[in-house]
Amino acid sequence: MSEIKDIDIMEVGDIENGERSSPWSSTIVVLRMTTSDGIVGYGEAPTTLMTKPVIDEAKEIARILKGKDPTEIERNSFEVYKHSFYMPESMETTSAFSAFEIASWDIIGKIYGMPVYKMLGGKFRDEIKAYANGWYSDCVSADSFAKKAKEVSKAGFKAMKFDPFGDAYDEISKEQIEHAVEVITAVKDTVKDSDILIECHGRFNANSAIRVAKAIRDLEPSFIEEPVHSDNIVGLKRLRATTDIPIALGERVMNKNLFLPYFIDDLVDIVQPDITNSRGIFEGKKIASMAESFGIEVAFHNAFGPIQTAATLNVDTTIPNFFLQESFEHFWPEWKKKLVKSGYNLEDGKYRISGKPGLGIEVNERILEEYKVDGMEPFNPDEPSWAVKGTWKSSK
C-alpha cells in the first residue's frame, strides 16, 4: 500500500509587490505530498487574509493523514471531519483539507496513469469557456472600464465580470447606483458581443441589493453575484422575490450540505463552489451533481493560482451543467504564470487541458523556492482585500 510519507506546506507569493489586481491572492499555499513509493502530488489552498491560519490547519491535518493511503479519498475526508470539530463551518480547515484532497487526486492519477477527469467519468466537453476577471484594476470612471473591457475582448474573452460599485458598502446611494449603471452601460456598448457578469462581493444589505437589481435589470446581466451579505439568507429570499436577474453565489459555501438549502429554497441560478475551500475535487463534483438535479448551472470560483485552475478544469470538463469558468490568468503576475509549466492552456477565452495523468501539470520547483515567503498577505486599511486593486473609490 502506498502511504502519505512527506508533506511540504509552502507559502508562495510576492508580498512586497503583491498583485496587479487581486491582493487577496498575493500569496497562495502550495502543498507538495509525497508517497512512500516516491509519487508526488500537488494541491493548493487559498489565503484571503487567513494565510497563517490555513497553514496552521494544514499542519494539523498532516498529523491526521500522514501514513494514510492517499487513494482512499472518502475515508480520509471522513477521518479529518471526525477529528476537526469545526470543519463543517471553518473555511480555514476546509481550505487546508482541500489542498490535501487535490494532491491525493494528483497522486492517484499518476499511480494509474489517468487524468483526474477520466476518473470522474470522462470528458463531457473539449473546450471550457472562460470569463475574465481581475482585468479592471484602477478603474473608477465609466470610460476607464470601457477602455479596459475593449482590451479584454481583444484577448479573446466573450464574457467578463466586474464590480462597478466603487466604495459602496452595505448601503448604496442614488448617485452610486447611477454611476454603476453608467459603468455597465459603457462596458456593454463597448463589447456588444460579450456576456456581462456583475460582481457585488456580498457587500449589500437586502434593501440596497433590491434597489441595485431594479436599476440594472434592463441592462440584462448574465448574472449578479453575491448581491447580499453571504450570511443574510432571509435578505436573499427578499431579493429573489423581486428580481428575475439570475443570481450566482457559492464561493463562501463550504460543502454540499451547506449548499442544499439554497437549492431547496430556489435561491440561486448559478452556483460557484470553490474547489480549494469546499473540500476539493470530489466534493466539487458532488455539488455539481446536486445542482444538476435542481436545474442549476455551475461556474466554479477560481481566483487564486494555477494548481487550483488545473483541479477545477478537471471537474469542469466532466459536468453537463457547466456555465462558465472564472479566469484571472491573463492578468496574473509573472511568478504565478510560471508556477506551472504545462497542463492546460488558455486561448481565445477558452481552456483546454492536457490529458496527462493526475492534474496533468508540471510544477516549476524553481518558482516554489524563489518565491517562498513567510507572512500574511498585504493589508490596506483603505481598501478591503477582496476589492480589485484601485477600485475602492468614489466616482466623485
Q: Which of 179, 229, 301, 330 is catalytic?
A: 301
Is 179 tagged catalytic?
no
Q: Which of 179, 201, 229, 330 is catalytic?
A: 201
Length of the chain: 396
C-alpha distances in angstroms, 395 versus 135, 147, 274? Answer: 19, 16, 32
Q: How many CB atoms lie within 10 A of CB 264?
A: 9
Domains with residue ranges and CATH for the chain: 4-114 (3.30.390.10), 118-358 (3.20.20.120)
Q: 3-state SS of the chain: helix, strand, coil percent to 5? A: 40, 20, 40
Sequence-distant (6+) residues with CB within 8 A of 374 are 11
Burial category of 338 from C-beta neighbours within 10 Å (exposed 0-12, middle 13-18, buried 19 and up): middle
User: What is the side-by-side order of every strand in the sheet holding 27-35?
Assistant: 4-13, 27-35, 40-45
d(CA 270, CA 286): 15
Q: How many CB atoms lie within 10 A of CB 17?
A: 11
Q: Report the predicted TM-score, pTM, of the whole model to 2 decimal places.
A: 0.97
Is 330 tagged catalytic?
no
C-alpha cell at 151: 482590451
Q: What is the DSSP letter of 266?
A: T
Within 13 A of 221's CA, how many CA atoms are on the CB side? 33
Select from 9, 25, 13 the least CA-distant residue to 96: 9
Map grid coordinates 506546506 to a residue: 9
d(CA 82, CA 272): 26
Burial category of 364 from C-beta neighbours within 10 Å (exposed 0-12, middle 13-18, buried 19 and up): middle
List the pLDDT tens digit at each of the 396 positions of the chain.
Answer: 799 999 999 999 987 776 778 888 889 999 999 999 999 999 999 888 889 999 999 999 999 999 999 999 999 999 999 999 988 889 999 999 999 999 999 999 999 999 999 999 999 999 999 999 999 999 999 999 999 999 999 999 999 999 999 999 999 999 999 999 999 999 999 999 999 999 999 999 999 999 999 999 999 999 999 999 999 999 999 999 999 999 999 999 999 999 999 999 999 999 999 999 999 999 999 999 999 999 999 999 999 999 999 999 999 999 999 999 999 999 999 999 999 999 999 999 999 999 999 999 999 999 999 999 998 888 889 999 899 999 999 987
